[in-house]
Each structure stands twice: as structure tokens, then as C-alpha cells.
Chains A and B, each alone.
Chain A
Amino acid sequence: MAEKTAEKKVETKTVKIYIMGKEYEVPSSLTIMKALEYSGYKYIRGCGCRGGVCGACATVYRLQGSYKLNVGLACQTVIEPDMYLAQIPFYPANRAEHVLENMSPAVEEILKRYPEIARCLCCNTCKKSCPQELEAMEYIQAALRGDLKKAAELSFECIMCGLCVSRCPAEIQHYNVAILCRRLYAKYMMPKAEHLKTRVKDIEEGKFDKELSEYVKMDDKQLIGEYDKRDIEAV
């Protein structure tokens, strides 16, 4: 099965990379994360989901001879020859406390907590340093205009890795602004699900208790009978 089929390894080509300036030779097909492990590092920080959604493994790198600073997630980015890399497992970012209950989805609420967004230089460095390629500058500008819907939607795929914060000349904490916008938008601006309210009320009033307790007491034979009787809602 899986373990047997993976025995056949065809990869032998190796490349040189530089982990925090130190040279290592590793198989060319590896991701940055696996290259570090192959080289002997055991992660404590800088490794989370290993699937590109948690933001733990933000990495910056330059290729030899290039002035350009690149970004990527270590778990998703395949190494390149002569890559000089460093992970940024933690970067300090201010987070304003808030009690959502006492707030409204107004631009003042955002500005009160994160006044520095007004300092945005529109340089777009945040977008260039986003491994998710999000329109970070655009969502900060949307927040500044009080367009929380746009700020929420443009930032939806944010993984809060902090690379934008590390590079912003205006010292904005983009991802914390973004989550506040999303929560305010979802709580106050998206319409509530009426069917959900109705169902919760029915459950609280015990409407399903009798039926449910009957099922709990049924034996397997009765339950299998009920299961086979189900009709399936069309796809």
C-alpha cells in the first residue's frame, strides 16, 4: 500500500542552499521545511500545520546575485539552488483588545484601535511580502474607508504569518486589523440565518428531545432499519 509504493526513489540530484548563511547540500525536490529537517534541524518553532494554512513557517530568502527579497511558506516552497534563507517564526505585532459586543462595524472603531493604518504609504510592500499574495494594501485602504465588507473579503485567506507586519514602513499590523474587520463584518453586517434561530429555539424548547431519546434507546436492528429507510436529498 502507501508505504510500499513510496520505496521507489528516483530523486538523486542535489543543490546547495544556505540556512541562515550556512551551506548545506540537499535533494533538489524538497520544500524549505523538509530541507531544514534533512540538514539536521528539528523544529520547535517555525513549524505548524505543514500544509500551508497556519502561518507558522514564514520564510524570507534571497537568491545568490539578486537584490530581490522573496517570501514563502517553508512547508509549501520548493528550494532553489543558492537560496539564502531564514525563517521568521515570530514577529512582534501589537494587538488591540476589543469586546465585540460593545462595538459597531464603523471605521471609528478600527481607527481608535489601529490609528496607524492612516499612515499607510500605499507602497504595496505588504502585498509583495504576502506568501498568500493577498491584496494587503487594498484591504488596509478598504478598512480606512470603512468598507469592512471589502476588507473582510480581501483578507479572508490571511494566515496571520506576520510577514506584512515585518516589512511595513508605516508599522501597520495588517493581520490584526484584518481579523477585527472580518469579525465585525460577519457579526454585524452579514445577515443572520433565520432558519438557524428557529431551529435553536425549537431545540431549546425540547421539540426534538422525545424523538432523539427514542433513537438513543433503539437497538442496532431497529436503527439499521431506520437508516435504510432514509431518503437522500438530491445533490
Chain B
Amino acid sequence: MSYPDNMLENIKKIESTRARIVEEAKKGDNFPRLSLEDGEKLLRKYHPDYKDGTKRELKVGKSKGELVPNEFADVIEAYPGIEPGEIDLEQVDYDVDVLVIGAGGAGSAAALTAQEAGAKVLVATKLRHGDANTMMAEGGIQAADKEEDSPTRHFLDALGGGHFSNDHDLLAAMVHDAPAVIEWLEDLGVMFDKDPDGTMRTLHGGGTSRKRMHSAGDMTGAEIMRTLRDEVRNREDIKVVEYEPAVSLIKDETGGCAGAVLQNMETGKFSVVRAKTVIIATGGFGRLHIQGFPTTNHYGATADGLVLGYRAGCSFSFMDASQFHPTGVIFPEQNVGLLITEKVRGAGSQLVNADGEQFVYPLEPRDIESSAIIRECFERKKGIETQTGRIGVWLDSPMIDVLEGEGTVQKEFPAKYRQFMRHGIDISKQPMLIFPTLHYQNGGLKISDDTSTEVPNLYVAGEVSGGIHGRNRLMGNSLLDVTVFGRRAGTAAARKAKEVKVGTLTLRHLTAYAKELESVGIKTERISPMILPDYVGKVG
């Protein structure tokens, strides 16, 4: 299988403009970047976040009155799947200093740091250790570690990408810790792309003013994730339980967080964890398919930690802002929604329409880039249609080989090359058809720069938290976020655990939440956390 004839026909047009566009780009004669003002206008008109009828105000909880996507409101305004009475909290199955819920990048980094600070750690996760969006991150991780760069430049770039809405303190913490995190990963044995003298090979990402994107091929997240996982497995004081998601937090009579109820997905059995401090590191909500979009996210991205934290008394920030990655696969159909890393554009490929012409600067911040693609397809009608009726534009990857020499695409993007070759498409010679895909939850539970929350003894790190990226995250700041704040959470939670005395365990907050739902007239069969999405019987 390869592209069908009509698409092959159109590719000829793309080939005819390729050399000229590459030449222009080489001379620095790129399609111009939009001004802040024009970018803002484009967003308001075309970005899915601004589409009418896709959000509603929350009726319960600390963030009552805030607008969030309907699909997300559905899991927040839902009843807990457990009755407090059916769980015997006096029967403690695990008694630990720090409980980490979630075993992706943030959870693993937190577990390592907490253990190093002397804590006995339990990690509970719903799938396997490492089944997380961290594993899927392709293009890179930002850090201002070169002479011509600085943490403040990194701060400014990320702030512009987030339309100046980012929490300043959180963002400053992230850019400040970034180089140290890269050094930590280098020391753990992550195979970063380097020059022979050890200099990190860095590229631009959308919205960066300096080349600070560090990478490990196009499997940067996988390389980081498997290294962290391997290291966690080396540590005796960290126990990992898989296929046992947390279904509720536990508090004690002081109102502090004191553990969680886990449920074995295969046997249904509940376990009670008593912990002095708890870290939520469960990732985001991609599998809720906001507005029906396909997603790049892993199977378990169902917003569970947001439900747990909100019921326990946390509030949200920026939960109305979703990130649509500009370049999601729309052909072949089997791969719809999968990510094509921004590094493909960082390395020199451009987006072109059905006429083979550019229509947007290739490295705008993601929300702007996505909005321009949507406009090109649906207002200007310059997209290309697949047999299943999807419409997209071309990401012209062969430009990279024209620019850097034959073989570059295969060498720099081995995973993507392989993925397309499985369907008979050689991306070093043929472009990829793309359309924006649901990629990231910009917002999340509100945290301080040590990852603490409004609930005592509860910490939150990674995609499940909100504020660092404001309304729009830049590429390479998510792998950074999970490692920086994962480490901060581990340190803070272990330190706090030394002074906490856990009282009597209770699930009263669940009962209170259910009462609040009833009091505002929410009658529904919905229960949450969702744990896994349901694709049974579906084709898509």
C-alpha cells in the first residue's frame, strides 16, 4: 500500500515547488512569522479552543463556574465508582512514606528523587511502568545550556508561546532547573545526540529564539522513559505495582492527604495505601477525545488524577486550554492522530498546501501553526482529501534530504521512517499528509513551585498540573516539565513526609463530593475516574 493515485498526482505538484522553497529557506527567505497581534486574531477565528458550544461551566468543586471542555466536565461531574463503606480503611495493605500515583516520566523522576531523600516509596500505576505520554514524546527537551542562550531567554520564549498567561514562578522554576536536569539524565546514561566532542546537538522548536532542543533521535521521550524506568528498578526502596490504578485519594481527619485506594484491574480487589505524602503524576486527558479529535496520547490518558485531586479539594488552572499538535498523521487511516514530531520542521521541512505553496512559518507556536492549517483546509480550501474524507496539508519531509543530504531523514527520524515504510511510504522521498491532532492538556491542577497543592501533603507533577505553560506549551517543554517538577515533587514530598503523622484514614471527602453533585441536581450514571477509554465495537 502507498498513496492512492489522486494523492500521487498532487505530490507531483509538491515536487515541482520543493527546490525553490528549499533555496529560499536557505537564504533565510522563509514564509514570514506572524506578529503577536495577527497570531492572536488567527487563534480566535480558527483555534478549536475558541469554538462555540464545546465547553461548559463546572457546577461543583473549587473551580465552580470555570469553563472546561464538555468531555472533561463529564468526568468531573460524575460519581465515584466506589462506596466508602465497601472499603475497610483499617486494613492497610501498603504503609509507605511517599505514594506516587502514575509511573510515567514525572512519577519515575519523583520516585527516584524521593528515594534519594530517604523515603520509602510506592509507585502505583494503571498500566505498565512507562506506559505514558513521556514514552511517546519524540522530538526533544529544551534547556538553555549553550553560551548564546540563557534561562531568561528560555523564560521569554515559553511565555510568548503561552501568550503571556504562564504562571511566572512555575515557569522560572522550570527554566532554572533545566540544565541540571539534562546533566542528571546524561549521568543516568541517556544517549543524547551529541557532536564527537560532546557538544549537545540542538535544534529549534516552534517559538524558540535559540536552538535549545536536545534530542535522542526521534525517540527522545522513549529513551528518557526507559532509562528512568531502568533506574527505578535498581532501587530497593521503590516498589512499583502495575495494573493497580488509584480510584480515590484517602485523607485523614486533619484534611491532609494520607494515601489512596488502589484497585487491581484484573481481579477487582481493592488495596489501601497509607502514605505520609502523595504525589499525583497521572498525566493528561487526551483519551477523552476533546471535540471528537483523534489524539496522539497513550491508552491511559483519561484524566484520572484530575478527578482524584479535584474531589480532594484542589482547583484547576487553564483547564479550558487544549493543545492540538499541528502535525498529526491523517494518512494512512490506521495511523490517524499519531504524532509527527515538530523536529521534522526543526530539521528543515515545510508545510505546503495542495498547490505546493507555503502558507505559514513552519515554526510558529503550536496553537498558531494549527490554526493556520485549519484555515488552509477549511476556509481557503487548499487541503488534500483522503478516501475517508479527511482533509489535510503536506509536511514535506523530503526537503530535509535536499537541505542536509540524502539519508538524513532516515538517520534523524528512524522511528517515523519505519512507521511509514510499514505502509509503503518512504518519507525521505514522499511528503506526509497531516492535520492537527489532540496532543496535550495545557492546564491542570493548581500547584506551587515546589509542586504542593491546596490540599496538605498532596503534591502534583507533570501534565496533570497546570500553569507552567499557560494556555499553550512549546515543544520540548513537556519532557522538561515532567523531569523538573517530578524531581521537585520527589524532594518536597520526601521532606514533608519526615514531619507528617498520619491520623485516622477517611473517605469522607467522596461522600461530600457526591452530596454536592446531588445538591446542584446532577443526576447521572457516569462514574469516574474513567481508567480506560472504551473502543469496543468501534472502527475508528
Chain A residues with a Cβ under 8 A of chain B = 1-3, 5-11, 27, 29-31, 34, 37-38, 40-45, 47-54, 56, 76-78, 95, 97-100, 132-133, 152, 156-157, 159-160, 179, 182-187, 190-197, 199-200, 203-204, 208, 211-213, 215-217, 220, 223-224, 226-228, 230-235
Among A48, A217, A232, the most chain B Cβ lie within 10 Å of the Cβ of A48
Can you list 28 A-B contacts with CB-CB less than 8 angstroms, sorted by A residue number?
A: A2-B437, A6-B389, A6-B540, A31-B334, A34-B334, A38-B537, A50-B298, A50-B299, A51-B136, A53-B135, A53-B136, A53-B222, A97-B234, A100-B188, A100-B189, A157-B415, A186-B190, A190-B194, A191-B197, A193-B194, A199-B146, A212-B176, A213-B172, A216-B168, A224-B36, A227-B164, A230-B153, A231-B209
Which A residues lie within 8 Å of B159 (CB)? 223, 227
Which B residues lie within 8 Å of A5 (CB)? 385, 389-391
Query: Min CB distance, A164 to chain B, in Å?
Result: 15
Q: Flag if B191 contacts A182 (CB, 8 Å).
A: yes
Among B289-297, B310-318, B476-484, B522-530, the one that faces the other chain is B289-297
Which A residues lie within 8 Å of B152 (CB)? 208, 211-212, 215
Which B residues lie within 8 Å of A42 (CB)? 532, 534-536
Q: Flag if A7 contacts B127 (CB, 8 Å).
A: no
A38-B538, A193-B194 given; A182·B209 CB < 8 A: no
Query: Min CB distance, A189 to chain B, in Å?
Result: 10
Which B residues lie within 8 Å of A204 (CB)? 180
Give Cα A204–Cα B179 distance, bound, in whole angstroms: 10
Query: Min CB distance, B345 to chain A, in Å?
Result: 10
Q: Flag if A159 contacts B536 (CB, 8 Å).
A: no
Q: Flag if B136 contacts A49 (CB, 8 Å).
A: yes
B422 in contact (CB, < 8 A):
yes
The residue of chain B having its C-beta at the shortest distance from the C-beta of A29 within the complex is B333
Give Cα A76–Cα B419 distance, bound, in whole angstroms: 8
B128 in contact (CB, < 8 A):
yes
Q: Flag if A215 contacts B187 (CB, 8 Å).
A: no
Among B59-67, B198-206, B454-462, the one that faces the other chain is B198-206
**8 Å CB interface, B352-400 against A:** 374, 378, 385, 387-391
Q: Flag if A152 contacts B145 (CB, 8 Å).
A: no
Q: Flag if B200 contacts A37 (CB, 8 Å).
A: no
Which A residues lie within 8 Å of B538 (CB)? 34, 37-38
B518 in contact (CB, < 8 A):
no
Which A residues lie within 8 Å of B1 (CB)? 78
Tell me the interface secondary structure of chain A in the complex. loop
Q: Flag if B128 contacts A48 (CB, 8 Å).
A: yes
A8-B388, A34-B535, A51-B136 are known; give 18 further A-B pairs, CB within 8 A.
A1-B291, A2-B437, A9-B539, A29-B334, A34-B334, A48-B128, A49-B135, A51-B296, A54-B131, A100-B234, A179-B226, A183-B230, A186-B186, A187-B187, A212-B175, A216-B169, A216-B172, A233-B210
Q: Flag if B189 contacts A208 (CB, 8 Å).
A: no
B155 in contact (CB, < 8 A):
yes
Which B residues lie within 8 Å of A53 (CB)? 135-136, 219, 222, 415
B157 in contact (CB, < 8 A):
yes
Query: Min CB distance, A230 to chain B, in Å?
Result: 4
B151 in contact (CB, < 8 A):
yes
Q: Flag if A185 contacts B537 (CB, 8 Å).
A: no
Give Cα A210–Cα B398 distance, bound, in whole angstroms: 45
B28 in contact (CB, < 8 A):
yes
B265 in contact (CB, < 8 A):
yes
Which A residues lie within 8 Å of B258 (CB)? none
Select which of B160, B217, B234, B293 is within 8 A of A156 by beta carbon.
B217
Which A residues lie within 8 Å of B223 (CB)? 156
Select which of A54, A185, A227, A233 is within 8 A of B135 by beta carbon.
A54
Q: Flag if A194 contacts B179 (CB, 8 Å).
A: no
Select which of A3, A77, A228, A231 is within 8 A of B36 by beta carbon.
A228
Query: Could you give, for residues 469-494 of chain B, a 1 whenever the CB lies within 8 Å of some chain A CB and a 0 otherwise?
Result: 00000000000000000000000000
Which A residues lie within 8 Å of B293 (CB)? 1-3
Give Cα A56–Cα B291 distance, bound, in whole angstroms: 28
B247 in contact (CB, < 8 A):
no
Q: Flag if B198 contacts A190 (CB, 8 Å).
A: yes
Q: Flag if B537 contacts A40 (CB, 8 Å).
A: yes
Give Cα A221–Cα B176 distance, bound, in whole angstroms: 23
Select which of A48, A133, A186, A190 is within 8 A of B298 by beta carbon.
A48
Which A residues lie within 8 Å of B187 (CB)? 187
Give Cα A132–Cα B417 distance, bound, in whole angstroms: 11
Q: Flag if A98 contacts B234 (CB, 8 Å).
A: yes
Which B residues lie within 8 Å of A31 (CB)? 334
The residue of chain A having its C-beta at the shortest distance from the C-beta of B339 within the complex is A51
Which B residues lie within 8 Å of A30 (CB)? 334, 539
B52 in contact (CB, < 8 A):
no
Give Cα A202–Cα B187 distance, bound, in whole angstroms: 19
Q: Flag if B243 contacts A193 (CB, 8 Å).
A: no
The residue of chain A having its C-beta at the shortest distance from the C-beta of B198 within the complex is A191
Select which of A2, A37, A191, A196 is within 8 A of B196 by beta carbon.
A191
Which B residues lie within 8 Å of A51 (CB)? 136, 296, 298, 338-339
A50-B298, A224-B164 given; A233·B191 CB < 8 A: no
Query: Min CB distance, B519 to chain A, in Å?
Result: 34
Which B residues lie within 8 Å of A230 (CB)? 153, 156-157, 209
A185-B191, A200-B180, A235-B25 given; A195·B299 CB < 8 A: no
Query: Min CB distance, B236 to chain A, in Å?
Result: 8
Give Cα A100–Cα B176 distance, bound, in whole angstroms: 27
Q: Flag if B199 contacts A195 (CB, 8 Å).
A: yes
**8 Å CB interface, B213-254 against A:** 216-217, 219, 222-223, 226-227, 230-231, 233-234, 243
Q: Please provide the 10 A-B residue pairs with the shortest distance between their CB atoms, ordered closest to farther.
A: A183-B189, A8-B389, A3-B292, A191-B198, A187-B189, A48-B131, A186-B189, A199-B145, A37-B535, A186-B191
Query: Min CB distance, B7 to chain A, in Å?
Result: 15
Which B residues lie within 8 Å of A3 (CB)? 291-293
Q: Flag if A2 contacts B294 (CB, 8 Å).
A: yes
Which B residues lie within 8 Å of A203 (CB)? 151, 176, 179-180
Query: Min CB distance, A188 to chain B, in Å?
Result: 8
Query: Min CB distance, A51 to chain B, in Å?
Result: 5
Which A residues lie within 8 Å of B243 (CB)? 44-45
A159-B222, A193-B198, A208-B151 given; A11·B534 CB < 8 A: no
B107 in contact (CB, < 8 A):
no
Give Cα A184–Cα B227 distance, bound, in whole angstroms: 11
A223-B156, A228-B36, A233-B204 given; A54·B186 CB < 8 A: no
Select which of A45, A179, A200, A220 is within 8 A of B179 by beta carbon.
A200
B348 in contact (CB, < 8 A):
yes
The residue of chain B having its C-beta at the shortest distance from the C-beta of A72 within the complex is B422
Which A residues lie within 8 Å of B186 (CB)? 186-187, 192-193, 196
